[in-house]
Structure 1
Amino acid sequence: MPTIRPSSDLRNKYNEISEFCHKYSEPVYITKNGQGDLAVMSIATYERLVGKFELNKLLDEGMEAVKSCRVVPAESVFEKIENGLSK
């Protein structure tokens, strides 16, 4: 169940909201005039979320490369690396 707080709590109870976000690694949804307005979360939670988006993007790119036959066998990649290191 999401945690929903009015915008006045962001001003008046900032420390309480901050502690919740850090303790539970979940966002707090802030309302303004009864409507959803913001989502507040810790930096650690935000970075984890962005990391998941980046990973999914890379996985999608890899799957698209496989579908369009833009792949190289791992053995040949390792061979090129080894040859480059031995120069």
Structure 2
Amino acid sequence: MPQIRPVSDLRNHFAEISRIVHENNEPVFLTKNGYGDMVVMSIEQYENIQQNQEIIMKLKEAEHEADTSKERYSHSEVFNNLRMQIRNKSDQ
């Protein structure tokens, strides 16, 4: 269940809010005058959201490229290419 707190709790109960976002791994929604104002979350939660958005963006790019290109690669071609890239990076 989401935690919804008044924004004044950020000042008056910071330690409790910090504990909630870290222990429950969920954001705390802060209100001002009864309306949503801010969301507080841990850095780990934020980084996870950013990483998921990047993955979604890359998948959309891949879908677009697949829709606009006739070029296709076999499973072995893809993995051989990846192995070569990994070897090249480890040699540097």
Normalising by the residue count of structure 2, what TM-score does the alignment of the two structures yield? Answer: 0.78
Q: Which residue of 2 aligns with 1:47?
A: 47
1:66/1:11 Cα in 2 relative to 1: closer, same or farther (>3 Å)? same
CA distance in 1, matches of 2:20, 2:60: 34
Q: Which residue of 1 aligns with 2:33?
A: 33
Instruction: Report the alpha carbon displacement of residue 2 of structure 1 after superposing the two structures with TM.
Output: 1.4
SS of 2:30's partner is: strand
Give yes or no for contact 1:65–1:71 (8 Å, CA) kept in 2: no
CA distance in 2, matches of 1:45, 1:51: 10
Amino acid aligned to 1:33: N
Q: Which residue of 1 aligns with 2:10?
A: 10
Question: Where in structure 2 are there 5+ consecutive unaligned residues?
Answer: none
Give deviations 1:56-85, integer Å, cap 9, x for gaps: 00000001110101645252873xx58xx6
SS of 1:46's partner is: helix
Coordinate RMSD, CA, aligned: 2.1
CA distance in 2, matches of 1:72, 1:3: 48
CA distance in 2, matches of 1:15, 1:70: 56
Q: Extract structure 1 runs of 4+ deviating beyond 4 A.
A: none
Amino acid aligned to 1:49: I
Instruction: Report the alpha carbon displacement of residue 4 of structure 1 after superposing the two structures with TM.
Output: 0.2
Give yes or no for contact 1:5–1:29 (8 Å, CA) kept in 2: yes
Paired residues in the alignment total: 81
CA distance in 2, matches of 1:70, 1:14: 55
